[in-house]
Structure 1
């Protein structure tokens, strides 16, 4: 029973946070934007700090990105969102590195060793592909990479490059919702659709590639 108590506790906490975010809080991008801008010149700092600690409360990154676009515009909003998202990913990575690395090595056995070897030698490419293509949850990638042997610098660089297109799409879309220009809205929706669809077209190929690399190593 003790063996499963930790997993049950984590599951309950995660489920509780998700329910809290989706029902009780029910924070819309507009509400978040208004609250962030209420602090004046400190708004950009507050936004980055919120995004940095977002992985620990499981708040939807998409909602926060839309709020960033509404608050700061497509370009400045993208820059701030990438900064906060990368900082949050690094924080989750380091947390998993300290808390879970040894446990992962002990429990995954030979198969886990092969995956860790792959990540250690191809960490940048693998993380980049996983950031570009929505195969796994954003935060799950950060925690898993931290619990493996991926090095911090390749992980951080791959995260910055990999999330840039999607981040711009979300922030521009958020910005357009507060615009009265039909052309801006159409352009934002088009860019969002293109950036969302293209990775999905290559999802199966990339997934097969990653599985093949894991078998080779």
Structure 2
């Protein structure tokens, strides 16, 4: 008599407590880190804090530029991985400390690493479970995203109206491949990052005039329209496939 435990038609063993713990431990760690980060830095990441500590920050950078850049990147990775509010001020601080292009490079790499960490945590937790149980419109949405994941990811990253933490989590629930997620994040966040880093690079003059930086610059037509144009180019292959399919 064949062993039923090895039969192909045998039902899979139910998920045990240890499996559930391994599945949800990364998400629990991220939630805990987010709560602690918001409590520790909630009122310390602001324009006022940056203005009050600008001299100390410049002295800290000058004491060891390479070390300062490494610490800055590590802090940025944690900010993104734990979805701690205030990353915009950290981006401006990077431009202020390291200049537009160096800061943009540091931020793009750090933000991509942080986004990759939260993506893997979400996919190992709810992502796999959600996809296994996906039915109806959710299953169709997942198939559509998977067939056009490059266009989906680049559009998601290029449109500045999409909150960053949503753009980090949604692909994990919709079956986007990690490799695609990684390189499209790296490329897609670069334009907006460079814009805000350039705003940070000009903070010295802003401080001297006693003003505040214009954070809405990304929504001004000279900046927004090129970003939307890039997003439209990214979405074009998916739209073409949809029209051709119909």
After TM superposition, the score normalised by the length of structure 2 is 0.65
Q: 1:37 aligns with which of 61, 80, 93?
A: 61
1:120 and 2:157 correspond? no
Q: 1:47 aligns with which of 69, 72, 85?
A: 72
- State the partner residue of 1:79: 105
**In the aligned structure 1, how far is the partner of 2:87 from the partner of 2:184?**
18
1:104 and 2:109 correspond? no
- State the partner residue of 2:13: none
Deviations 1:26-58 (A, max 9, x none): 444444881863872311111111111113042
Residues 74, 15 of structure 1: alpha-carbon distance in 2 compared, 3 angstrom cutoff: closer
**In the aligned structure 2, how far is the partner of 1:29 from the partner of 1:213?**
47
Gaps of 5+ in 1: 1-8, 183-187
Q: 1:68 aligns with which of 84, 91, 94?
A: 94
**In the aligned structure 1, how far is the partner of 2:94 from the partner of 2:227?**
25
Shift of 1:116: 1.3
**In the aligned structure 2, how far is the partner of 1:134 from the partner of 1:200?**
8
Gaps of 5+ in 2: 1-27, 209-213
- State the partner residue of 1:3: none
Larger Rg: 2
- Say whether the 8 Å CA contact 1:132–1:199 is kept in structure 2: no
**In the aligned structure 2, how far is the partner of 1:14 from the partner of 1:112?**
30
Deviations 1:151-200 (A, max 9, x none): 011111111121111001000000111148x9xxxxx9997545653268
Count of residues paired in the alignment: 204
Cα RMSD, aligned residues only: 4.3
- Say whether the 8 Å CA contact 1:101–1:148 is kept in structure 2: yes
Aligned positions of 1:180-199 closer than 5 A: 192=218, 193-194=220-221, 196-198=223-225
Deviations 1:121-180 (A, max 9, x none): 211111100111134211111111122210011111111121111001000000111148
